[in-house]
Amino acid sequence: MDIIKAALADVALVAPLFDAYRVFYGQASNLALAEEFIAERLANNESVILLAVDNSGNALGFTQLYPSFSSVSAARIWVLNDLFVSANARRQGVATQLMHAAKELGIKTGVKGLALETGVNNVNAQRLYESLGYVKESGSYHYFLNL
């Protein structure tokens, strides 16, 4: 398995995984939307997508990170927004390798750290994150305004 930084030429590999990720979070499958969204992020350099591929070039999973800032720390951070591994590649260390690659990206780009969130019911992801040293924050609430 290799972890590569996805480029525009890799949209066809990433999009089905991204579509499955959205379905996992309750959205209707829409491969065309997934392709368009991923292509726009990559074309505009708005995110970094790390893609796990097997020796045959098949996509196994991905993580997508967005650049952001911490005003309080006056430092850059990466928001690890998406992590998904295809069903047939789970329990093979793919997610762990993607998380290690995200950490290396953070070190290489000199950010303060990586931020992420997951659903309270996603205990598998919580176990993975905590096993890798991520600390669950307390004392704050997340809010969102639909527009």
* pLDDT tens-place string over residues 47-63: 999 999 999 999 999 99
Q: How many CB atoms lie within 10 A of CB 62?
A: 28
- Predicted TM-score (pTM) above 0.95: no
- Domain residue ranges in the chain: 2-131
Indicate if the pLDDT at residue 144 is higher than 80: no
Q: For the chain, what is the radius of gyration of the CA atoms? A: 15
* pLDDT tens-place string over residues 88-135: 999 999 999 999 999 999 999 999 999 998 888 888 888 889 888 888
Work out the pLDDT band at 41, boundaries 50, 70, 90.
very high
- What contacts 24+ positions apart, CB below 8 Å, involve 44-50? 47/81, 48/5, 48/78, 48/105, 49/5, 49/6, 49/10, 49/14, 50/3, 50/4, 50/5, 50/6, 50/98, 50/101, 50/102, 50/105
| 2-131: CATH topology | Aminopeptidase (3.40.630)
